[in-house]
Chains A and B, each alone.
Chain A
Amino acid sequence: MEKLIFEMSAKGYENIFLPEENLNIEFNIDKNLLKAETLDLPEVGELDIIRHYTRLSQLNYSIDTNFYPLGSCTMKYNPKINEEISAYSEFKDLHPYMPEHSVQGILKVMYDLQNYLIDISGLSAVTLLPSAGAHGELAGNFIMAKYFKVKGEEQRKIMLIPDSAHGTNPASTVMAGFKPVQITSDENGYIDIEQLKPYLNDELAGIMITQPNTLGIFDPNFHIIAKMIHEAGGLVYMDGANMNAMLGHVKPGDIGADVMHFNLHKTFSTPHGMGGPGSGPVAVRDFLVEFLPIPIVEKRGENYKLNYDIKHTIGNIKEGYGNIGVIIRALVYFLSLGQVGLKETTDIAVLNAAYMKAKLTKKYHIKYKTLTKHEFVLDNKYQEEKGIRTLDIAKRLLDYGYHAPTIYFPLIVHEAIMIEPTESESKKTIDEFIDIMLKIADEAETDPELVKTAPHNLHFKRFDETRAAKQPILRWKK
């Protein structure tokens, strides 16, 4: 067990970092503002800090150490050249208020990424401002709300959201003043078109669709649904979290999406960083460009400019210009793959998933038999009679050195096991994972207790989460 950094303190110890400077000057500040006590921060030397955080890092599963088939998260390889280039001092040490002529390089980086995202969205303009997918959803919903406001149709409040959607979709849309209405899926995992019909009136704001959806199913009726929504005066939002299944095959704009967000930290290989920073650029159709948040990068002649003059802008949505470090990595990725590499990415991601599904469905139940793309959702139906829950299967996988798939999501599959292998993995890794999954299915038959009490081989057993919720301890105290 690793101590807390605070527990490693040697009283009175300090690292030296300030150069000596003879400043024979008194503070100017009102003495009443000064505090009496020194904060309780660690008193630990450099080597022990390095050891502490290095040891902590080794307690993690990560893409660089373990296969990480988390559905919906696109845990693909994070190329090292992206890390190298994004760390250039000429990028990371720039201040947002530096004069525009001196930051042309980074503005070009942003401008180029905007264009490449326009390319694959099939839409007209892109903002790089949103910090994450959910932030992109929010910006997209603000844009839609402002559009209706300017149009004088503020009564349009109904936002249709399929039951397979990410939780962020309904959570984001309410923040823009819309009312989410849940639409259930049909037996194929497609949106049930009949259910949309009662809402096709002048209270309809639009629909938020994840394409392919969280079952990994590409809804072939998307363009039909989009047409219905448009005819009723509504807008179509596409959650682009699953763009890894569409690169080089179909553009959201071409099948009727008006607004969409990308997750650079999923599709475009930027690291997840234990939960962030991500980046969630938003693309819009031509008639929505005048609502984009500010600023946006434009090219005027040979110069790049931050444009704040957008007619009906929703306004600022964050400090500064976006998660620039993430944006640089995504641009490097685009350039390193080109059109050919992007399409190959999707082809292999979908093939890897199809292969894995073909082999795993011999021992695991799958609710929807429909063709899937980059991910698929199994469940525990065959293992349930032995009392095995999905959580148990997940924990047993940890024992074998694999991160668990996404579990209990999407909610429309009872005890869901959502697997996304990505294009990054070799056949060998995929085969080994399949073997282990099948082995766990056998263990569930022959020795269910072994599975139910997993994990067995890790530093830790299962944690008491109830205790944490009832009596949360959220900070160290002396």
Chain B
Amino acid sequence: MKYTQLSQEDINEMLQVVGISDIKELFKDIPENEKYTYKYLQEKGLTEIELRELFSNYAKSDHDILDYKSFLGGGFYQHFIPSIVYSILARSEFYTAYTPYQPEVSQGSLQMIFEFQSMISEITGLPISNASMYDGATAFTEAFLMAYRLFRGKKKKFLYAESVNPIYKNVLKTYMQFNPNFQMEEIPTRNGKLDIEYLRNHIDEDTAGVGISYPNFYGQIEDLGEIVKIIKDNKSIAIATYYPIVSSVLKTPGEIGFDIVVGNGQSLGNPIYFSGPTFGFFSTKMDFIRQMPGRLISETVDEDGKRGFVMTLQTREQHIRRERATSNICSNQTLNTLAAAVYLSFIGKHGFKKLGERILKLTAYAMQKFKEVGICIKYDPKRIFNEFVLDIDNSSEIVKKCLDKKIIAGISLEKLTDENGLLIAITEMNSTRDIDALIKAIKE
């Protein structure tokens, strides 16, 4: 293929204007390199005909896994994506635009992000939301870093629940390991929920923030009200990573009292894509705005008084504040937020509630059917939204067995957490028929 557009005549004319006879002269300052050789890339480019053929072979080798019924969750969930999401995402006026640094010619991007921020604030129950982070795990980490800044580095201890998604905890540890000031402590899990007494006994005046997951990695909803009260009484920052679909029917984390709410936005209109791109959302209170990471879009007016939107409070950001910025984030995941904005517009006020109710009902159905065949569900069945752990100690064998029946039964916790079990997620994409088939396959 060829993506340049100069003819030989153009090139000759341009060389003349530059005052040289060969393009090589433009590289005369590059030290004579040893022969530039390739080990892997082939010499000639492929045509579209060849690329299509090649990549459909790559795609085919991905087995027939898409024909399988899946109950995988663990941070990424299969949800319905309306056709109009893909239709709008395909508009190249959106996807080939850069960061909206020139607001007069970027109102499309800016207004869209403003609408997205509004929808995310509605979902998290907190007044301000940024234009996105890379994913849930990095957003969770940035929340701790923000808590640290809110106390001007005077409080150095962070508590996080063992019941948070293991990858989130790992990312948090990666980011914290090179700052000897940070002191990290894990709150253990008891019966699928964080140990409240442990939290009560280990939170102290040096604790900047406490991070939990709503629902947690085991699908359980923690005793959120009590947790928030303990954190607030201690004047620390309450941080929650959140599965945004929960807001369809359950109380928002903002309503419960969390100060910073983050999460993975994939479930809002984004395909799972083998883990990315997705986006991280990040919401907090107005008082904390100056310590917030990432881009913010604000409403304003132009010289004629017309409503419009601009990037604001950029003095927090790396391109101005450099090493004193609130974060190093520059590129974020804006195109994925467009998917979320279109998705939430379509699902809408009433559809979102119905979606949550459908998921709750399907989950109740699955739990009841498991009970009927004598398979126990771990932990409190009344604190489950859509994900739960089956009490079986041969989870990886069960997963293998179900694959033969074209069912991906869930995530084996064998290598992920201390206790074994099978983590099953239910969404509106699983019918009662699929659930019956899953139970049959496990039981056989």
State whether these chains interact: yes
Closest-by-CB residue of A relative to B252 is A35
Partner of A30, one of B276, B323, B383: B383
Whether B5 pairs with A325 at a CB distance below 8 angstroms is no
Q: In the complex, what residues of A have CB within 8 A of residue B177's CB?
A: 142, 146, 314-315
Name B231-289 residues within 8 Å CB distance of A: 247-252, 255, 264, 271-279, 289
Whether B43 pairs with A340 at a CB distance below 8 angstroms is yes
A267 within 8 A of B: no
With a 10 A CB-CB cut-off, give which of B52, B74, B95 has the most chain A CB atoms: B95
The verdict on A274 contacting B94 (CB below 8 Å), with A119-B38, A134-B330, A171-B322 known, is: yes
Whether A119 pairs with B250 at a CB distance below 8 angstroms is no
The verdict on A274 contacting B174 (CB below 8 Å), with A40-B349, A98-B65, A460-B302 known, is: no
Whether A180 pairs with B10 at a CB distance below 8 angstroms is no
Whether B250 pairs with A28 at a CB distance below 8 angstroms is no
Whether A276 pairs with B4 at a CB distance below 8 angstroms is no
Q: What distance in Å separates the Cβ of B417 from its nearest Cβ neighbour in chain A?
A: 14
In the bound complex, what is the Cα–Cα distance between A64 and B60 (angstroms)?
32
Closest-by-CB residue of A relative to B271 is A92
Partner of A53, one of B96, B342, B360: B342
Q: In the complex, what residues of A have CB within 8 A of residue B62's CB?
A: 90-91, 94, 102-106
Whether B382 pairs with A275 at a CB distance below 8 angstroms is no
Whether B19 pairs with A340 at a CB distance below 8 angstroms is no
Whether B40 pairs with A119 at a CB distance below 8 angstroms is yes
Q: In the complex, what residues of B have CB within 8 A of residue A352's CB?
A: 6, 14
Whether B114 pairs with A273 at a CB distance below 8 angstroms is no
Whether A4 pairs with B111 at a CB distance below 8 angstroms is yes
Q: In the complex, what residues of B have CB within 8 A of residue A108's CB?
A: 58, 61
Q: In the complex, what residues of B have CB within 8 A of residue A316's CB?
A: 137, 167, 170-171, 174
Of the listed stretches A15-23, A192-200, A442-450, name the one at the interface; the rest are far from the partner chain.
A15-23
Q: In the complex, what residues of A have CB within 8 A of residue B80's CB?
A: 17-18
In the bound complex, what is the Cα–Cα distance between A474 and B289 (angstroms)?
11
Of the listed stretches B152-160, B194-202, B331-339, B436-444, name the one at the interface; the rest are far from the partner chain.
B331-339
Q: What distance in Å separates the Cβ of B288 from its nearest Cβ neighbour in chain A?
A: 12
Q: In the complex, what residues of A have CB within 8 A of residue B229's CB?
A: none
The verdict on A115 contacting B39 (CB below 8 Å), with A38-B350, A104-B62, A274-B338 known, is: yes
Partner of A118, one of B40, B52, B114, B304: B40
Whether A168 pairs with B272 at a CB distance below 8 angstroms is no
B162 within 8 A of A: no
In the bound complex, what is the Cα–Cα distance between A254 and B92 (angstroms)?
38
Q: In the complex, what residues of B have CB within 8 A of residue A228's CB?
A: none
In the bound complex, what is the Cα–Cα distance between A172 and B180 (angstroms)?
17
Q: In the complex, what residues of B have CB within 8 A of residue A87's CB?
A: 86
Q: In the complex, what residues of B have CB within 8 A of residue A345's CB?
A: 3-4
In the bound complex, what is the Cα–Cα distance between A255 and B171 (angstroms)?
32
Q: What distance in Å separates the Cβ of A114 from its nearest Cβ neighbour in chain B?
A: 9
Name A438-478 residues within 8 Å CB distance of B: 455, 458-465, 467-469, 472-476
Closest-by-CB residue of B relative to A272 is B98
Q: In the complex, what residues of B have CB within 8 A of residue A223's CB?
A: 31
With a 10 A CB-CB cut-off, give which of A13, A108, A473 has the most chain B CB atoms: A473
B93 within 8 A of A: yes
Q: In the complex, what residues of B have CB within 8 A of residue A293's CB?
A: 174
B99 within 8 A of A: yes
In the bound complex, what is the Cα–Cα distance between A120 and B38 (angstroms)?
7
With a 10 A CB-CB cut-off, give which of A324, A354, A373 has the most chain B CB atoms: A354
Whether B318 pairs with A168 at a CB distance below 8 angstroms is yes
Q: In the complex, what residues of A have CB within 8 A of residue B123's CB?
A: 39
Whether A29 pairs with B361 at a CB distance below 8 angstroms is no
Q: In the complex, what residues of B have CB within 8 A of residue A394's CB?
A: 102
Q: What distance in Å separates the Cβ of A201 from its nearest Cβ neighbour in chain B?
A: 21
Name A231-250 residues within 8 Å CB distance of B: 248-250
Closest-by-CB residue of B relative to A424 is B3
Partner of A320, one of B65, B274, B328, B385: B274
Partner of B347, one of A41, A274, A277, A460: A41
Closest-by-CB residue of B relative to A173 is B323
A167 within 8 A of B: yes
B185 within 8 A of A: no
Whether A23 pairs with B251 at a CB distance below 8 angstroms is no
Whether B132 pairs with A218 at a CB distance below 8 angstroms is no
Partner of B13, one of A25, A427, A455, A475: A427
Whether A427 pairs with B302 at a CB distance below 8 angstroms is no
Q: In the complex, what residues of A have CB within 8 A of residue B391's CB?
A: none
- Render A74-102 as a binary contact track against B, CB cut-off 8 A, 1 for contact: 01111101011101111111111111011
The verdict on A474 contacting B117 (CB below 8 Å), with A103-B274, A277-B276 known, is: yes
Q: In the complex, what residues of B have CB within 8 A of residue A319's CB?
A: 75-76, 135-138, 165, 167-168, 171, 264, 275-276, 278
Whether A132 pairs with B329 at a CB distance below 8 angstroms is yes
A409 within 8 A of B: yes
Q: In the complex, what residues of A have CB within 8 A of residue B295's CB?
A: 275
Closest-by-CB residue of B relative to A87 is B86
Q: In the complex, what residues of A have CB within 8 A of residue B122's CB?
A: 39-41, 475
With a 10 A CB-CB cut-off, give which of A83, A275, A354, A373 has the most chain B CB atoms: A275
B29 within 8 A of A: yes
In the bound complex, what is the Cα–Cα distance between A455 and B186 (angstroms)?
55
Q: What distance in Å separates the Cβ of B186 from its nearest Cβ neighbour in chain A?
A: 15
Q: In the complex, what residues of A have CB within 8 A of residue B361's CB?
A: 23, 25, 27
- Render A144-159 as a binary contact track against B, CB cut-off 8 A, 1 for contact: 0110010000000000
Whether A276 pairs with B335 at a CB distance below 8 angstroms is yes
Name B98-136 residues within 8 Å CB distance of A: 98-109, 111-115, 117-119, 121-123, 127-129, 131-132, 134-136
With a 10 A CB-CB cut-off, give which of A61, A118, A220 has the most chain B CB atoms: A61
A326 within 8 A of B: yes
In the bound complex, what is the Cα–Cα distance between A442 and B27 (angstroms)?
33
The verdict on A326 contacting B351 (CB below 8 Å), with A35-B255, A105-B61, A316-B170 known, is: no
Whether A50 pairs with B88 at a CB distance below 8 angstroms is yes
Q: What distance in Å separates the Cβ of A99 from its nearest Cβ neighbour in chain B?
A: 7
In the bound complex, what is the Cα–Cα distance between A29 and B219 (angstroms)?
12
A309 within 8 A of B: no
B355 within 8 A of A: yes
Q: In the complex, what residues of A have CB within 8 A of residue B191's CB?
A: none
Q: In the complex, what residues of B have CB within 8 A of residue A359's CB?
A: 17
Whether B174 pairs with A250 at a CB distance below 8 angstroms is no
Add 12 more A-B contacts to A458-B105, A475-B117 (CB < 8 A).
A4-B115, A18-B351, A25-B361, A25-B368, A28-B384, A54-B88, A58-B108, A60-B109, A325-B276, A350-B23, A352-B14, A460-B306
A-B contact pairs, 20 of them (CB 8 A): A5-B345, A27-B361, A29-B383, A41-B122, A68-B98, A93-B78, A93-B272, A95-B70, A118-B39, A170-B322, A276-B332, A277-B332, A320-B135, A339-B38, A341-B3, A355-B17, A398-B104, A462-B303, A465-B312, A474-B298
